[in-house]
Amino acid sequence: MASLRDTRRRITSVKNTRQITRAMKLVAGAKLRRATSAATAAKPYQQTLVRVLGRVVGKAGDTQHPLLTKPDNDTDVVIAVMSSDRGLCGGFNNQLLRKVQSDIDAMIADGKTVRLLTFGKKSTAHFSKRGYTVEASTIDLDPSEYSGEAQKLADKLMVEMAENGFERAFVAFNDYRSVLSQIPTLAQVLPMVVDEESDSGGGDIIYEPDGAELLGRLLPMALRTQLFQAFLETQAGEQASRMAAMDAATRNASDLIDDLTLLYNRGRQAAITTELTEIVSGAEAL
């Protein structure tokens, strides 16, 4: 009977766990709808701004801007890594952190000094434990703070670039494609890479003010927008991964409950059969 009691306790425990994972799935689903809505709404703005920049650069001729020019530094690289603060989201963090670590090791082997700016507890813990230089760490960000944090990060990078503080700056994040697909991405943000685009329509377009002033206004805006979009993509990907992980955990718990229930019923049936056999044997002995 002790084994039956243990099985019954296990069934109760797994049922409680299933309730938790089911609730976490529902919460992640609600957060996912808000996160995907924000990421989807912001993406067309970023894409349009990139196209406008390409046209301005194409028309600006030889006009240069500091954000487009390689700093006088051949050794330092800055990487802003965006991960989640909490776990229970499948391989969301691991797939990104493994890629970033591999890229960092390749840069170090090439003679570069890599400085990390981490956003999220998972990336901070991952790189700190492995001996990498984590220059600054930001944790427990609320989605309402993403815009302000993107502004601060952009300002910090632009100031350092003006002082030749690094050769290149990257942002590492999971690019949200769908609930089941988030692509680990390492994108260069400084110096900015803008593909020149010619205006369609066959006519000459005169930009006012001139190209230099337009670039001075649009490039910092594009940098902030790119960083803000990375925060939004990370949030959407985290909630999608957590919802998928909790859905799988709930289904696994249900399967385990079925297996344990079958085991319990078999054990109980065996115990009843044994008792009946003993009763019948005792009656026959009398």
- The CATH homologous superfamily to which domain 2-25+245-280 belongs is ATP synthase, gamma subunit, helix hairpin domain (1.10.287.80)
Distance CA 212, CA 218 (A): 10
Strand arrangement of the beta sheet that strand 181-190 belongs to: 134-138, 113-119, 76-82, 168-178, 181-190
| Catalytic, out of 89, 169, 189, 246 | 89
Give the model confidence (pLDDT) of 187-223 as tens digits: 999 998 877 665 554 455 666 666 677 788 888 998 9
CATH fit for domain 26-241, picks 3.30.43.10, 3.40.50.10380, 1.10.3720.10, 3.40.1380.10 = 3.40.1380.10
Give the model confidence (pLDDT) of 126-173 as tens digits: 999 998 989 999 999 999 999 999 999 999 999 999 999 999 999 999
Q: Dihedral sign, CA of 145, 150, 153, 159?
A: negative
195 assigned to active site? no
3-state secondary structure of 121: helix
Q: In the chain, which residues fall in CATH 1.10.287.80?
A: 2-25+245-280
What pTM did the predictor assign? 0.84
Distance CA 21, CA 256 (A): 14
Distance CA 158, CA 151 (A): 11
Distance CA 185, CA 175 (A): 6
Distance CA 219, CA 189 (A): 11
Distance CA 214, CA 130 (A): 44
Q: In the chain, which residues fall in CATH 3.40.1380.10?
A: 26-241
Instruction: Give the containing element (helix H, strand E) for 260.
Output: helix 211-285
Q: What is the DSSP string of 222-242?
A: HHHHHHHHHHHHHHHHHHHHH
CB neighbourhood size of 221 (10 A): 12
Q: Give me the tens of pLDDT residue by residue for the chain, a chain 286 residues long.
A: 458 888 899 999 999 999 999 999 999 999 999 999 888 888 888 888 888 787 777 666 666 778 888 899 999 999 999 999 998 898 899 999 999 999 999 999 999 999 999 999 999 999 999 989 899 999 999 999 999 999 999 999 999 999 999 999 999 999 998 888 899 999 999 998 877 665 554 455 666 666 677 788 888 998 999 999 999 999 999 999 999 999 999 999 999 999 999 988 888 888 778 777 777 777 666 6
**If we measure between CA atoms, which residue out of 51, 71, 68, 50 comes closest to residue 212?**
68
CA atoms within 13 A on the CB side of 194: 32
